[in-house]
Amino acid sequence: MRRLILPTAAALMLTLAGCSATQAFFIREDGSGRADIEITVDPVLSAYVRDLGEGMGMGEAPLFDPAAIDATFSLYPELTLIAAQTRGKRTLLLTIEFASIDALFRDSDEILDRIVRFEARGDERFVAAEVDRRGVERALRYARFDPQVTEILLPPAGEMSAGEYREYLAWAMEEYEGGTPLADVFAASRVSTTVTVDGAIVDVVGGETSGSGSVARFTTPLLEILTTAEPERYGVRFRRN
């Protein structure tokens, strides 16, 4: 059986320790589809980012700016931002239509081009992705996150293990710890993804099938993504109806 890697779509996310995201993807047989994404920032990270921004002279800018996100998506003709809205100050809701799932990471940078891919062979379809720190950096472009803050929050590429990064974050955010221990905040930082395909799933890598046989579920811990030496691999192979 051919094993391919599929997008758990930490793909389009603002993925930082202290964030959690849920995503629901629908993928048609031609690779087009829709994504409904919800991103929530923990109060600890929210307060930390706010103070970082103020220390850099950026004032009290909101975590998410739907108008700026809309402007970013206008640069990508294969992506249509149906809705971008906030719920409170710490949650972002996105609905996106895409002409092809691999368009989510298409860029002039050849390395980024390889993060997500879609293949059609006869009656079978393959959706594949490798998710690591590069994908996070790409996602932050979509979310219009300030690059100075990003540089402080993300670990140096290939220089920290998950444990070391966790210790660094615990040290940096120690004074922000509230009723929930920081260890629990970091452990809850993950992306939960549901992928529904227009067909019958044949094989899943990095997740499991559920429901009617056309649904796959994936859970991605964010600290591991940011520090892994090898990309996390996910995949779905399905047969069209």
Predicted TM-score (pTM) of this structure: 0.78
- Tell me what pLDDT residue 105 has: 60
Task: Return the DSSP state at 63.
Answer: S
Q: Would you say 172 and 45 are in contact if contact means Cβ atoms under 8 Å apart?
A: no
- Tell me what pLDDT residue 165 has: 82
Select from 152, 111, 143, 147 the least CA-distant residue to 17: 152
- Tell me what pLDDT residue 138 has: 63
- Tell me what pLDDT residue 22 has: 85
Q: Would you say 210 and 42 are in contact if contact means Cβ atoms under 8 Å apart?
A: no
Helical segments of 37-161, H only: 43-55, 66-73, 110-113, 133-143, 147-153
- Tell me what pLDDT residue 154 has: 73
Q: What is the C-alpha to C-alpha distance for residues 217 and 192, in angstroms, rounded to an integer?
A: 7
The one-letter amino acid code at 193 reads T
According to DSSP, the β-strands at 124-131 and 190-197 are unpaired
The segments of the chain whose pLDDT lies below 70 read 1-18, 53, 55-61, 104-115, 134-152, 157-158
The residues, ordered by sequence, that sit 6+ positions from 182 with a Cβ below 8 Å of its Cβ are 44, 169, 170, 173, 174
- Tell me what pLDDT residue 216 has: 94
